[in-house]
Structure 1
Amino acid sequence: MAEVSTQQGGQPLKYTVTHNRKPQHTHDAFIKWIVEEHLPLALPILKRHGVLGYSLFVTPPFLSDALKQEMAKIQPTWDIADFDCFIEYTIPDMQAMKNVVSDPNWAVATKDQNDWVDMERALVSLGYSTPYLLETGEVVNLRK
């Protein structure tokens, strides 16, 4: 991967990963594994290497199925994302993630991932996130 160390206007980077569970696991068991087994081991490593934030966007099958039915009516050519969760890391630079995955404890934190995660289907992305509408209703980051 090319070196990515600069930020756009001081913004941190967003590094995302989608995960699909292996078929022998239920969606609920998969998310429980991430939250109760993986994260307690992973979060101290993330903090140690300067990761600024971590969020887990969970996509339960019942919501994906409902979305698929609705979108078939209004945007029938669109594909519905098919994954169990979307992980978003907020990082100061790509070196932070390189440091995380090279940490010897990361192997411990991810020791069971091949039993749970369909690694061949994972999708990653790197970019910036700019809010324009806050939960308070305030519009931001637009020229007035």
Structure 2
Amino acid sequence: MAESTKQQEDRPVRFTLTHYRKEGTTHEDFMKWIVEVHLPKAIPVFQKHGVIGYALFDTPAAFNDPLREQMAVVNPTWEVADYDCIIEYTLPSIQTIGNIMQDPQWIEAVADQKDWVQIPKALLSLGYHTQYVSEGKVLNLPQ
């Protein structure tokens, strides 16, 4: 892994995953499974490993299809993502990812994901989240 500075090591990291639902499953059923079945099993693992934040960014076709049509006119070179959701974790460190994935309780929490998620299509990213506008207020810009 790339070398990091002490200042970076002290910052929480953002880890994201995009997920596509399994073919033959509706978007609504997929999202319901995440929220009502998966999350109740996963949250105790997050708490055990000090996860700072978890957010689910739901991307339904009802939003994406009109956006795709609009972008075809406004900027036809842009593609509108077609995954069903982005899961966003805010973690105390990069090591938290490995710690969670090796936890037997996590392995149990994701045991049925193969029935709901197209696992090979997942797209992951890791980095830092910096807010520059919040509730209309500008933040974190150099003076």
| TM-score bin, normalised by smaller chain | over 0.9
CA distance in 1, matches of 2:47, 2:3: 20
Q: 2:23 maps to what in 1?
A: 23
CA gap of 1:97–1:9, structure 2 versus 1, over 3 A, is closer
Residue-by-residue CA offset, 1:68-118 (whole Å, 9 max, x unaligned): 011111110011111000000001111111111111011211011001000
Q: 1:101 maps to what in 2?
A: 101
CA distance in 2, matches of 1:102, 1:114: 18
Q: 1:50 maps to what in 2?
A: 50
Q: 1:87 maps to what in 2?
A: 87
CA gap of 1:25–1:4, structure 2 versus 1, over 3 A, is farther
Structural mapping, 1:114-133, within 5 Å:
114-133=114-133
Structure 1 unaligned regions, length at least 5: none
Q: 1:72 maps to what in 2?
A: 72
CA gap of 1:36–1:12, structure 2 versus 1, over 3 A, is same
* Offset, 1:8: 2.0
Preserved contact between residue 7 and residue 13 of structure 1 (Cα < 8 Å): no
Structure 2 unaligned regions, length at least 5: none
Q: 2:112 maps to what in 1?
A: 112
CA gap of 1:4–1:86, structure 2 versus 1, over 3 A, is farther
Residue-by-residue CA offset, 1:40-81 (whole Å, 9 max, x unaligned): 000110110111110000000111101101111111001111
Does residue 134 (structure 1) correspond to residue 122 (structure 2)? The answer is no
* Offset, 1:129: 0.8
Count of aligned pairs: 142
Does residue 143 (structure 1) correspond to residue 134 (structure 2)? The answer is no
* RMSD, aligned CA: 1.6
CA gap of 1:74–1:15, structure 2 versus 1, over 3 A, is same
TM-score of the two chains, using structure 1 as the length reference: 0.93
- The percent of aligned pairs where both chains have the same amino acid is 50
CA gap of 1:34–1:140, structure 2 versus 1, over 3 A, is same
CA distance in 1, matches of 2:9, 2:71: 36
CA distance in 2, matches of 1:15, 1:43: 16
CA gap of 1:20–1:50, structure 2 versus 1, over 3 A, is same
